[in-house]
Structure 1
């Protein structure tokens, strides 16, 4: 631990935490095929936005996509242009990986304000190594970017809570403006709930007054409002009906898309989604209770509890919704991990990732398939890292930090390369490869209408209904057809079997070529 101690004492802890985030975020980032559905909906809409040059309207294929504001699409367009790889899904994922690194750096900054240097490093590494952030850093979606905007905002709140934020005050308002462009009011909601909780606990408004700035408010409005005005005009008001009405308020009113769960579901899921930090959290609960009046615990609970309560009471539940509270949970670990003991509670969540891998294996076995052979050595790696994390609790904060980093890397280096090599999960690239062998033929697919086939073929596909197939067969020119069955005398080229990840159902498609 001598080298690690010297780096922390020299103020290089944030670079170590960022290195952990890279180590957790890179495995599988380039090899994982496009994942249905949300990732592909975002990335394909971004690719079309870049191709059309229309930076106001948001479309997937020919349909408007108004569930989320434009911020994530602008960032993904920029990433695709900088990398020069608009057809590669990884270029759009880079936004999420970079956003995850911003969130880790902001968490470290809060830790340096409220914790020791060792505690700040542990908190930021616990966030970087967490299962949920690792997943979101691999996907071209909004959630890692939303987390970054919340973490940056809360870093300025921490400064204002402990003193004058100075020039960072404008950064608070700028982060809120970006958050409004990424996922509407959700980011500001998390921050305002935290500010309200801090004000109620301290029975004062000093922090709010320190953050207030008319110039900051103007900056937030300049960042967010012009696009909202433009899209209101372009969509004829449809954006508000789709995003605020059907998407946001609809989730508050009822459980959408079969994503309902009872209150307490997020708390139960936390032991996996915050793993490996959940092992330290389980071992630290007595110490956390004793430290409940310390400033960092008050700050972290004011951040996490109101948002958790809101989402627990919301009928629609998706496992990543509470991600904006993860830095707060990580700060709790930084506050009390030095007092944690390797008691048996730490072992309860230790092997949850192995249960996840086993569940994936059992599910695929039900379809007559299985995970890639990489899963077995990866599972042993995860088990070893989990045991080392529990054992490291005896040896202080830095040993626990190193063990968390190893455990996070073990999970990410196992899960994503294993999934990428499990070909049964990815029918779209297989179908697209066959289509690419016949570039002069129109390509039609029925029985697999997921966005991934649109992305992998660069929208050069017709998603057809079964009743459309006779007319397609009669159409002039070369026709390549993928369908479960086809009433034709044409010879079947091949069959593609796989899992429709969007619906969770297996598919079995034949391919026919009409010259």
Structure 2
């Protein structure tokens, strides 16, 4: 009894305001450590691409030329310099090794996971404030207060679910542990879009908690303007970093997503004034243009034709390096990239009710996170589906959107059903009543498909070594993979997960 009271007091102290940051920080560090940093430098460089990036970064240290990337004394204009700069910096800290090559990718993946956690935490905060201020039933007020004390924002499952879905996505784990530019681009793009939404939320003329409150809005306007300006500035800064990571896509893709979203909800005029895009574009130009000018002066048309012509325009309009695929290619990639949770994605997409445009336009901004994630997902998916050259890594930037959609769906549907059954209310939550019976059927079908999918993944894991064969470029890879025991552990993990879901 005494030990229980001591534990209770300890937990209460951790939930005090001054300790609020400790457990989330420890939890996120642990999650990122397992997903991205554990045994990061255990293996040598893989494939033919990672050594190209590693050597180009090393050449910058050797030659002192931080403008033009080189590989074997030949210019390498595939990507802008940011990934090489970061690798060169980590070389000076941890040495020229596989750990130094991959550290920028691991840090980038961790940063994206952390900002996703914060965004969902901010969503929970706004939702709870809305419930506190606008629930008129005293009994509901009491229930809300009880929930808030028992399950504080610190331990709310939604931010943790979203962060875990991102960090433990197979594709995030794979590319977060490889020294190429894809994860850095994903982090810059994903973090930029999250920063936009946070700025958008803080600028809500209805107030971040819900509907207009004339008594509070005058007092909070100045504070919200400062906060939203910070997030919008961070949005522009991250876009600039994305441009220095992979070129024009760093501006085109977030511009397409944000533009489509604000036009759909009918707030583009107001958001235009809030964001001050002319100043933002000037800031982006100030950060990115110097390198593009210097590398053009040093290399002339060779850079312009290779980088903009071949690696950007031709990759979008033609098949480059034999990387062609059918139109349905990314449906399969998304299914595998977010496995096993991708099975729930179709239901989560329908759960947004995106076709109810008028209803979405009337919602306070914090409630529009689900719609924003949908536009993020569809914008990224459509853009790269249209692209003629297709690679699995191209759509990594949509993984945070998938995670947010699935986490919100679970939070709003599955957890509500569980809560109702535990309280013994005997009432079916409105979210699953009448018009959403079809949605419930889809959810049950998704559970069955998820179990089947996990069993297929387990089977594929056990037989991976047999299917790989002998690649002349990596003659020892199949044997090394089998000896590592990784495929056996993966297969057992999929089987265990399928068993848990079945039970």
**Fold in common (TM above 0.5):** yes
Flag the 1:279–1:242 CA change in 2: closer, same or farther, 3 A. same
Instruction: Find the partner of 1:198 among 253, 258, 261.
Output: 261
- Verify: 1:80 aligned to 2:91, yes or no: yes
- Verify: 1:296 aligned to 2:400, yes or no: no
Instruction: Find the partner of 2:106 among 84, 97, 104.
Output: 97
Q: Distance in 1 between the 2:165 and 2:188 partners?
A: 19
| Cα drift, residue 283 of structure 1 | 6.8
- Verify: 1:310 aligned to 2:383, yes or no: yes
What corresponds to 1:344 in structure 2? Answer: 448
Q: Distance in 2 between the 1:208 and 1:385 partners?
A: 50
| Cα drift, residue 345 of structure 1 | 2.5
Give per-residue Cα distances to partners, 1:115-166, cap 9 Å, x unaligned: 4642122111100000111111111111111111112211221123223213
Query: Would you say the 8 A contact 1:115–1:334 is kept in 2?
Result: no
Instruction: Find the partner of 2:275 among 211, 217, 223.
Output: 211
Instruction: Find the partner of 1:122 among 135, 146, 161.
Output: 161
Q: Distance in 2 between the 1:198 and 1:14 partners?
A: 31
Which has a greater percent of helix?
Answer: 2
Give per-residue Cα distances to partners, 1:59-86, cap 9 Å, x unaligned: 0011110011111111111111121x12
Q: Distance in 2 between the 1:207 and 1:113 partners?
A: 20
Secondary structure, aligned partner of 2:453: coil
- Verify: 1:363 aligned to 2:461, yes or no: no
| Cα drift, residue 259 of structure 1 | 1.3
Structure with larger RCO (C-alpha < 8 A, sep 6+):
1
Q: Distance in 2 between the 1:132 and 1:41 partners?
A: 21
Give per-residue Cα distances to partners, 1:353-408, cap 9 Å, x unaligned: 4355346312345679644241464134322442266369xxxxxxxxxxxxxxxx
Scaled by the length of structure 1, the TM-score of the pair is 0.69
Q: Distance in 1 between the 2:354 and 2:229 partners?
A: 33
Query: Would you say the 8 A contact 1:279–1:347 is kept in 2?
Result: no
Query: Would you say the 8 A contact 1:231–1:239 is kept in 2?
Result: yes
- Verify: 1:151 aligned to 2:190, yes or no: yes
- Verify: 1:182 aligned to 2:193, yes or no: no
What corresponds to 1:275 in structure 2? Answer: 339
Flag the 1:192–1:57 CA change in 2: closer, same or farther, 3 A. same
Give per-residue Cα distances to partners, 1:271-314, cap 9 Å, x unaligned: 11112332443675665559985522211011110121111111
Flag the 1:356–1:138 CA change in 2: closer, same or farther, 3 A. farther
What corresponds to 1:260 in structure 2? Answer: 324
Query: Would you say the 8 A contact 1:150–1:191 is kept in 2?
Result: yes
Q: Distance in 1 between the 2:59 and 2:90 partners?
A: 14
Flag the 1:279–1:161 CA change in 2: closer, same or farther, 3 A. same
Please, which moves more after superposition, 148-157 or 130-139? 148-157
Secondary structure, aligned partner of 2:392: coil
**Runs of 5+ unmatched residues, structure 2:** 1-6, 126-155, 204-227, 361-366, 415-442
Q: CA RMSD in A?
A: 2.9
Q: Distance in 2 between the 1:328 and 1:358 partners?
A: 31
| Cα drift, residue 352 of structure 1 | 5.1
- Verify: 1:378 aligned to 2:417, yes or no: no
Q: Distance in 1 between the 2:157 and 2:490 partners?
A: 30
| Cα drift, residue 180 of structure 1 | 0.9
Scaled by the length of structure 2, the TM-score of the pair is 0.71
**Runs of 5+ unmatched residues, structure 1:** 393-515
Secondary structure, aligned partner of 2:78: coil
Q: Distance in 1 between the 2:377 and 2:15 partners?
A: 27
Flag the 1:202–1:14 CA change in 2: closer, same or farther, 3 A. farther
Flag the 1:352–1:55 CA change in 2: closer, same or farther, 3 A. farther
Flag the 1:223–1:356 CA change in 2: closer, same or farther, 3 A. farther
